[in-house]
Amino acid sequence: MPQQHTFTYSTVTGYFLQDETSTVAENFDFMSKDFGLLEKEYEEGTALDYSREKDTATQWRRFEREVTRLQKEAQSGTVYKVLYLGRHGQGVHNVAEKKYGTAEWDRYWAAQEGDTSSRWLDPHLTATGIEQAHAVHAFWKHQLAVAKTPAPQTYYCSPLYRCLETANLTFRGLDLPADRPYKPIVKELLREANGVHTCDRRSSKSTLMAAFPDFAFEPSMTEEDELWSATERETNQQLDSRFTSLLDDIFEHDEGTFVSLTSHSGAICSLLRVLGHWEFRLVTGGVIPVLVKADRGGGG
């Protein structure tokens, strides 16, 4: 029997470059494009009194006010959120796939734990991946101080090592509002497409908790990875159902409007499919915001 979900989701377009299918994902530089936020005017009555609060004249402040308006005028059961979707920095497995080529990687190497030069079972970031995360940290620092981009109110993260590293390097040490501290929450459902590929098999819970003591791990997470299968990989249909469940959890229980999710390429493509957005494939270290409308009353 198909799983019943709490909400139906859609992307509210017209606010970001990445919503437009004419935008080329592999060439998209979110850092030079203000996260892709479009310069635009909003409806009368949504403008702020700039004489009283100068920094509200930024495009992000106007957009934040627009989101507030949308929620205020929404019907009962409708929720708006802005999701900051971030892909981890380059991992050891990304280098290996490039080395062997995608066809040979999928045929053989993805199921191995490594080769003679590297290991990629729940791989760590490469030096390049660390640099990418540091660059995003510097970008967030600028956005918070100058562009007045709203800081996330909640930080969710995949339980795979490369995402935990990326989230820490990106957000730790930022000058965040007192009511929006960096307190990351690990969500098992936020992991990459599961099965066969050893890079998507997570480390033990105790290993991760020791390496990332400031992260909140779900009590339901098992010590060993009981979800990963050596013989079966999740289909897109299964992946989309999983991410619909994740979104249901977030939209049902998280009161924040601006939410960060640090995840993976395939996982983010699934999220975007569920949100009715085209599959904008992020490069390693990439981040895009998406304005989401959720209407209570899901389908199967």
The catalytic residue positions are 88, 192
> Distance between CA atoms of 28 and 286, rounded to whole angstroms?
9
**Are 244 and 4 contacting, i.e. CB atoms less than 8 angstroms apart?**
no
Query: Which strand (E) or helix (H) includes residue 291?
Result: strand 287-296
**Are 204 and 224 contacting, i.e. CB atoms less than 8 angstroms apart?**
yes
- Bridge partners of residue 10, in order along the sequence: 293
Q: Output the 3-class SS for 121-178.
A: CCCCECHHHHHHHHHHHHHHHHHHHHHCCCCCCEEEECCCHHHHHHHHHHHCCCCCCC
Pairing between β-strand 154-157 and β-strand 287-296 as defined by DSSP bridges:
unpaired
Give the largest CA-CA distance in the chain.
Answer: 64
Amino acid found at 240 = D
> Distance between CA atoms of 121 and 228, rounded to whole angstroms?
12
